[in-house]
Chain A
Amino acid sequence: MPLINLPAFAADLLADFERLGTLRVDTPVIQPAEPFLDMAGEDLRRRIFMTESETGKSLCLRPEFTIPVCLRHIETATGTPQRYSYLGEIFRQRREGANEFYQAGIEDLGETDVASADARAIGDAIAILSARLPGRKLNVTLGDQSVFEAVVAACGLPAGWQKRLIHAFGNSAQIDALLTRLSSPQPVTGLSVEIEALLSSGDDATLIAHLDETMEATGYSTNASRSPKEIAERLKEKRALEKTALDGRTLGVLREFLSLNIPLAEAPAALFAFAEKSGLTLDGALSRFDARVAALGNAGVDAKALTYRAAFGRPLDYYTGLVFEIVIEGSSAVLAGGGRFDRLMTLLGAKERIPAVGFALWLDRMEQALAQPKGEAAQ
């Protein structure tokens, strides 16, 4: 289908993708809605355009490319490593701006050298934006969930708390609320005398059997949803933690970490100093972080132009490590966003774990930026 509304720089962009050795793929505009809602959650429903097939199957207009490109990779049983590129229209309900616009990007699937693949994704995004938007100063912000995971683990927090904190990572309001909540004990109340007795007896088998019987008696299946064992385990965990609260020192350590916002070049030293001062062992995460900074240097990316913000993440469970965003200095419009999503391929049905990293370019915002005189940031 010849498109006449493509951005003027689309041909150059495709040439960039080819020069970078990627395989350009296309995906249908009409997509099954399930994978998007399953991965991103129900909140997406009001931001995409949904319809139904005659047989009742939920369909949507392609809201992004990552999931379709990954599904295509799985369906075509293509080997890895493989770097895909795409350029096409996506469709979203937005309060402001058009509902259909162009996006382009690269998905790098199956590269096991994580540091190099991360560095290449960031480097490619910067190189493409610099070439298409000459003379603009780009600001790159980078975050890494795996460092936060290491900090939380090294603080020796209970497993349940670690999971909650990691789950809230990237949403600052949520993480603030959670830290406040964990700072005061959460008593477990409202249990019947019988359950209290079973709980304090420590006899797990009888507790589980009791839950099992109650479910049977009240017409609830014991395997369709949460099982008696799962409920008993979580109840025990809550009971064990009910008098525990996040201590002031740990809270201080977590808040200090989350407030880090520094040039990437200084980040390895700053993280090392933070770990030393706080008495945390973060060796694995820090060496992976350092390896990425080194790989960026090898890829010719100037780490001085990059900022590391420790609290920066995306609260979706398939993002696992690196995330990054690129804006023009003085503007808040994100021109490129990317990250590592090592968990997505298996969630979408891949038989084996396939490490993945990629980024998307917002072509409409790039066009707007081009329309602005140099040095004057688009708002």
Chain B
Amino acid sequence: MTITIALPSKGRMKDDASAIFEKAGLKIVAVGNERSYRGRVEGLDNVEIAFLSASEISREIGSGSIDFGVTGEDLIREGLSEADARVEFCARLGFGHADVVVAVPEIWLDVDTMADLGDVAADFRARHGRRLAIATKYWRLTQQFFSAKHGIQLYRIVESLGATEGAPASGSADIIVDITSTGSTLKANHLKILSDGVMLRSQACLVRARKAEHAGDPLVAKIIEAVSGVC
């Protein structure tokens, strides 16, 4: 059986992923020229490498059309319902760190916790004639965190596909849910992270689609063992 591993197709994520695989004794070589979107592992004939964008990797691993993928935990958990039942997080790779956080304007001096935010959300409609608006691209994670974990139901999500941090100042939303690695962009936009507002500490992971045919496959076991051994 051929095993397909999807790796990020560009940027730091691509370089870091290749470095980890090489360290694990799975040196990746491109098929054809340097910019090819296909590759293979030196010395392993039945492994194929596909270079895909990080969000594509999450989708393809969910549909099971690839066996392994390297992508951010945030994208997997946002992209797939019941992620843990569908994929296995085999190894956390130690790069691509980013936290998914709830951030509110710094000037909201009275709001430090999700409980505070729940209070504000409960009252919002009566005061402003509309629900509290959250700008984010993380629909699923936001719903799980607000509704299931903190019992906050009364808010609306405003889809934001870029420059989410600017939404509160521009007036298109009241607060945001976004990723941050250093917090500097949040600070520049006068936003603060709630004390219990870290929804997910994400990093690049090796994930496996849970497929029945993987059971007892020595190649699958070898890949997991080799990569986890160097993280």
Q: Does B151 contact A (CB under 8 A)?
A: yes
CA distance A170 to B67 in the complex (A): 44
Cα–Cα distance between A190 and B115 once the two chains are bound (Å): 17
Contacts of B37 in A (CB 8 A): none
User: Which residues of B have CB within 8 Å of A228?
Assistant: 107
What's the least CB distance linking A157 to chain B, in Å? 14
**Contact yes or no, A174 B151, CB < 8 A:** yes
In the complex, B22 has a CB within 8 A of chain A: no
The complex places the Cα of A42 from the Cα of B177 at a distance, in Å, of 14
Across the interface, do A160 and B151 meet the contact criterion of CB distance under 8 Å?
Answer: no
Contact for A43 among B119, B122, B153, B168, CB less than 8 A: B153
Interface residue ranges of B154-181 to A (CB < 8 Å): 154-157, 168-169, 171, 174
CB distance from B145 to the nearest CB of A (A): 11
| Residues on the B chain within 8 Å of A347, using CB | 125
Q: Which residues of A contact B157 (CB under 8 A)?
A: 42, 45
Contact mask for chain A residues 142-176; partner B; CB cutoff 8 A; 1 contact, 0 none: 00000000000000000010011001100101100
Q: Does A315 have its Cβ within 8 Å of any Cβ on chain B?
A: yes
Whether A266 is near chain B, meaning CB under 8 Å from some CB there, is no
The listed residue (A41, A178, A224) touching B171 by CB distance below 8 A is: A224
One of B53-61, B135-143, B212-220, B223-231 contacting the partner: B135-143
* Residue A57 is within 8 A (CB to CB) of chain B in the complex: no
| Selected interface stretch from A17-25, A122-130, A211-219 | A211-219
> Are B107 and A211 within 8 A (Cβ)?
yes
Whether the pair B122, A46 counts as a contact (CB closer than 8 A) is no
Q: Which of A171, A177, A238 contacts B110 (CB 8 A)?
A: A238
- Among B105, B153, B169, the residue within 8 A (CB) of A315 is B153
A191→B169 contact, CB < 8 A = no
A197 sits at the interface (CB 8 A): no
> In the complex, A315 Cα to B151 Cα: how many Å?
9
Q: Provided the pairs A163-B122, A164-B119 are in contact, do residues A215 and B153 lie with their beta carbons within 8 angstroms?
A: no
Minimal beta-carbon separation of B189 from chain A (angstroms): 9
Contact, CB under 8 Å: A220 / B156? no
A46 contacts B153, C-beta separation under 8 Å: no
CA separation between A190 and B169, bound complex, in Å?
A: 22
**Inter-chain contact B155/A215, CB cutoff 8 Å:** no
With A45-B139, A218-B169 known as contacts, the answer to whether A231 contacts B109 (CB < 8 A) is yes
A126 to B153, CA, bound (A): 31
Complex contacts, A226 vs chain B, CB 8 Å: 105, 108, 120, 127-128, 174
CB distance from B218 to the nearest CB of A (A): 36
Taking A171-B151, A215-B107, A220-B107 as contacts, is the C-beta distance between A46 and B140 under 8 angstroms? yes
A94 contacts the other chain (Cβ, under 8 Å)?
A: no
Chain B CB within 10 Å, residue with most, of A41, A171, A237, A316: A41
**Residues in B whose Cβ lies below 8 Å from that of A288:** none
Return chain B residues, CB-CB under 8 Å to A237.
Answer: 110
Q: Is A40 an interface residue (CB 8 A)?
A: yes
B106 at interface, CB cutoff 8 A? yes
Please tell me if the beta carbons of B174 and A317 are within 8 angstroms of each other in the complex. Answer: no
Could you say which of A41, A191, A215, A226 has the most chain B C-beta atoms within 10 Å of its C-beta?
A226
B190 touches A317 (CB 8 A): no
**Contact residues on A (Cβ < 8 Å of other chain), bracket:** 35 or more
Number of A-B contacts defined by CB within 8 Å: 98
Please state if A46 and B143 are interface contacts (CB–CB under 8 Å). Answer: yes
Chain B hits for A316, CB < 8 A: 153
Taking a contact as CB atoms under 8 Å apart, the answer to whether B131 and A38 are in contact is: yes
* Residue on A nearest B142 in the bound complex, by CB: A42
Which A residues are CB-close (under 8 A) to B131? Answer: 38, 41
Q: Closest CB-CB distance, B157 to chain A, in whole Å?
A: 5
User: Is B123 interfacial (CB-CB < 8 Å)?
Assistant: yes
> Least Cβ distance of B154 to chain A in Å?
6
Would you call A231 and B125 a contact (CB within 8 A)? no
Distance of A171 Cα from B148 Cα, bound (Å): 11
Evaluate whether A235 and B140 lie within 8 angstroms (CB atoms) in the complex, with A41-B155, A226-B120 already known. no
Does chain A have a CB within 8 A of B51? no
Q: Whole-angstrom distance from the CB of A235 to the nearest CB of chain B?
A: 4
A220 to B146 Cα, complex, angstroms: 25
Contacts of A218 in B (CB 8 A): 106-107, 169, 190
Does B147 count as interface, using CB distance less than 8 angstroms?
A: yes
Distance between B91 CB and nearest chain A CB, rounded to angstroms: 30
What residues of A have a CB within 8 angstroms of the CB of B169 in the complex? Answer: 218-221
Is B147's CB under 8 angstroms from A173's CB?
no
Q: Encode contact with B along A307-345: 1 for CB under 8 Å, 0 otherwise.
A: 000000001110000000000000000000000000000
Known A41-B147, A43-B147; further 12 A-B contacts with Cβ < 8 A: A42-B146, A42-B155, A46-B81, A181-B115, A195-B109, A215-B107, A220-B105, A220-B168, A226-B120, A234-B110, A234-B120, A238-B110
29 interchain pairs (CB within 8 A)? A38-B156, A40-B153, A42-B142, A42-B146, A42-B147, A42-B153, A45-B139, A45-B143, A45-B157, A46-B81, A46-B140, A160-B119, A163-B122, A163-B123, A164-B122, A167-B118, A178-B115, A191-B109, A195-B109, A211-B109, A218-B106, A219-B169, A220-B190, A221-B171, A225-B105, A226-B108, A226-B127, A230-B127, A317-B154
Binding site for A on B (CB under 8 A): 81, 105-110, 112, 115-116, 118-120, 122-123, 125, 127-128, 131, 139-140, 142-143, 146-148, 151, 153-157, 168-169, 171, 174, 190
The 7 closest A-B pairs by CB, nearest first: A41-B153, A224-B171, A174-B151, A43-B147, A235-B110, A234-B110, A218-B190
